Amino acid sequence: MRIRSRKGQGITEAVAAAFILIPIALCLFDFLVVIIANSMNDTACKNAARAAANQPTTKTAGDAAALSLQSLHSPLISNIAMPNVTYTPGVAVSVTTRITVHLPVPFPGYSDLTFDASDVEPIVGAPPPN
């Protein structure tokens, strides 16, 4: 009667588990990047709207909102834009931001994702019109 050696069984199980666990871990990493990027976009939009709401005119509101976006630096974000700033004197300001994120471990066909955020803040930098 011959007894078989089990020396290769452990390495075979480890390789089989790695084929399953590594892609799952990479997908979770991409999912985490998506959540962080979306949160950063929401925060950037809120900050831009607050900066614009503290200004007395439409031009200074747009400049203040753009200036607040310049402070956002992250290796996750490949592009940030502010396609819309609507300033209604004495009432509110509405800001829309758009960021593009390059995924560190891209899915086939989904290497870049775009997120939009919108926020409305009441005007506090000027008295209401008569």
In a domain, 90, yes or no: yes
Residue 80: domain span: 10-122
Query: CA Rg, the chain, in Å?
Result: 24
CB contact set of 57 (below 8 Å; sequence gap of 6+): 87, 89, 126
- Both tokens assigned to 18: 């790695």
In this prediction, residue 71 carries a pLDDT of 83
Residue 128 scores a pLDDT above 60: no
Q: How confident is the model at residue 93 (pLDDT cuts 50, 70, 90)?
A: very high
Q: Higher pLDDT residue, 6 or 80?
A: 80
Is 128 a domain residue?
no
The model's pTM: 0.80
Q: Residues with Cβ < 8 Å from 26, sequence gap 6 or more?
A: 105
Q: pLDDT digit string (tens) for 33-74?
A: 999 999 999 999 999 999 999 998 889 999 999 999 998 888
Output the pLDDT for position 5: 65
